[in-house]
Amino acid sequence: MIASKDLLGLCPLSAEEIEEILSLGLEFKKALKRGEKNRSELAGKSVVILFYENSTRTRTSFELAAKFLGAHVVNISVATSSVRKGETLVDTGKTLDAMKNDFIVIRHPAGGAPRLLAKTVKAHVINAGDGMNEHPTQALLDFLTMKEHFGSLGGLKVAILGDIRHSRVAKSNLYGLKKLGARVSMYAPRTLMPAGIDDMGAEICRSREEALADADVVMGLRIQLERQHAGNFPSLGEYAKYYGVNADVLKFAKPGALIMHPGPVNRGVELTSALIDGDTSRIEEQVLSGVAVRMAVLTLLNKEVV
In the list 108, 157, 222, 261, the residue contacting other proteins (rule: CB under 8 A) is 108
CB of 117 to other proteins, least distance (A): 9
Residue 240, Cβ neighbours under 10 Å: how many?
A: 19
Binding mask 78-107 for other proteins (x = CB under 8 A): -----xx---xxx-----------------
Q: Supply the DSSP symbol for 223.
A: P
Q: Examine residue 200 and tell whether it contacts other proteins (CB under 8 A).
A: yes
Instruction: Rank residues 111 and 154 by Cβ distance to other proteins and give the closer one.
Output: 111
Determine, following the binding rule CB under 8 A, whether residue 227 of this chain makes contact with other proteins.
no
Nearest approach, Cβ of residue 258 and other proteins (Å)? 26
DSSP-assigned letter for residue 163: -
Nearest distance, CB of residue 285 and other proteins, angstroms = 27
Phi/psi of residue 23, nearest 5 degrees: -60, -50
**Segment interacting with other proteins, rule: CB under 8 A, options 19-27, 129-137, 142-150, 287-295:** 129-137
Give the end-to-end CA distance of the chain in Å, rounded to a whole number: 12
Single residue of 78, 110, 205, 287 touching other proteins by CB under 8 A: 110
268 binds other proteins, rule: CB under 8 A? no
The answer to whether residue 216 forms part of the interface with other proteins (CB under 8 A) is: no
Output the CA angle 28-32-38, nearest 5 degrees: 90
Distances (CA, A) of 13 to 16, 19, 172, 195: 8, 10, 11, 23
Burial 45-79 (b: 16+ CB within 10 A, else e): bbbbbbbbbebeebbebbbbbbbbbebebbeeebe
The residue ranges that bind other proteins (CB under 8 A) are 11, 83-84, 88-90, 108-113, 115-116, 130-134, 168, 171, 194-197, 199-200
